[in-house]
Structure 1
Amino acid sequence: MRVYDAQFAESLTAAQDGSIAPVYFLWIVARDRETGAEAPIGLWSGDEDITITIERPDGGSVSRAYLGACNLEIDGIQYVADLTDNPVSASLSQLAPAAQLLVRGRDVRLAYCEIHATTWTGGALTSAPQLQWIGIVDEGPISTPGAGGEGGIALSIRSEIMTQLGQVSPAKSSDAHQRRRLSVDRFCEYSGIIGSRSIQWYRD
């Protein structure tokens, strides 16, 4: 069971009778396109750059800098009790310098992501940002608009656990893979050719 900060939970409860202004924080560990080294970047839905203490997935906390004025919007966070893979969408302004730095200056493919959220009341955050989602960037299309149109950047962030569970690994049934696990394992020795053989089993 997830236990939220008391002030955050109170603001969510009060939204039933009033309104709510969600605030999102997106942390992406992208890679430098030239060196391949990790190059983390933080974005949030506010208008100014901010440095704030964030809850870590391991239970600790860390101070991070988040860039603002990028029109960050998060949509699609769902909590389910089964193995349904529900990707989360993070949209950004195509013109924002921070967004340009993220998708054009760095490689976000399969980048590690954390999404935190809180609410905004009376010009101040109601609580420290609460961890909402952990995943990896699955897609990041850039929509370039025509004259008079609207463009944007939409990142699809999938649960890393669900992504791994849904992948097929044919290497698990190969002879080479079996022998790496145990050198005398010959269970898959003929797996590469047995499919092409035509045998009439009722004949000698």
Structure 2
Amino acid sequence: MKVALCVRPDRPDAVRAARDAAARMRKAGHEVVDVNLDTPSAGAGAKGATIACILGGDGTMLRAARAMSPLGIPLLGVNLGRLGFLTTITIDDLDSAIADVAAGRHSVEERTLLDARLVRAGRETPFLALNDVVVARGAAVRSIHVAVRVDDDPLVVYWADGVIVATATGSTAYGFSVGGPLILPSSRAIMLVPIAPHLSFGNAVVFDP
């Protein structure tokens, strides 16, 4: 079985854990590739992997989701950080988890991704996000107007610090901190919630795509 071990090189604990795990996996007969999540083409080396093991915290998991999603490789989060909403096992459980995957004793839970486009000065930049996409005022200390359209139909114009568009996975993060609802992680729903709205519609809106 081909396994991709994904880390951020600025996390020495993750680099050490990945090196030790790779040695054990190779000894067990698995093919292992190391993936540096800080490189633009991070997912290239993982092509054909059965599973990608993400060693770190939720931030590392979010970065890995962007890199691996075009390849359709399932992710297994190994918690080395403080927050573990997205990471499901500890480093002590990794060997047994890999054995279960190799034997087919596992299930895959699908999560929704956001496909965003930033258009500026005629140039379009694509983004993928597992948690949320935020349009905000930046460093300026003032509110901004944000016009929201759904399927090209006008919905609302916010006068606010910004707006958050979040997946169900991201509903526990920034959106929740500004008053948005919690959504079952497996849901395909998308949440829209304003940040500090002034004299405008202030409730979150949940869409079922």
Return the TM-score normalized by structure 1.
Answer: 0.23
Which structure has more RCO (C-alpha within 8 Å, separation ≥ 6)? 1
Computing the radius of gyration from Cα coordinates, the structure with the larger value is 1
Return the TM-score normalized by structure 2.
Answer: 0.23
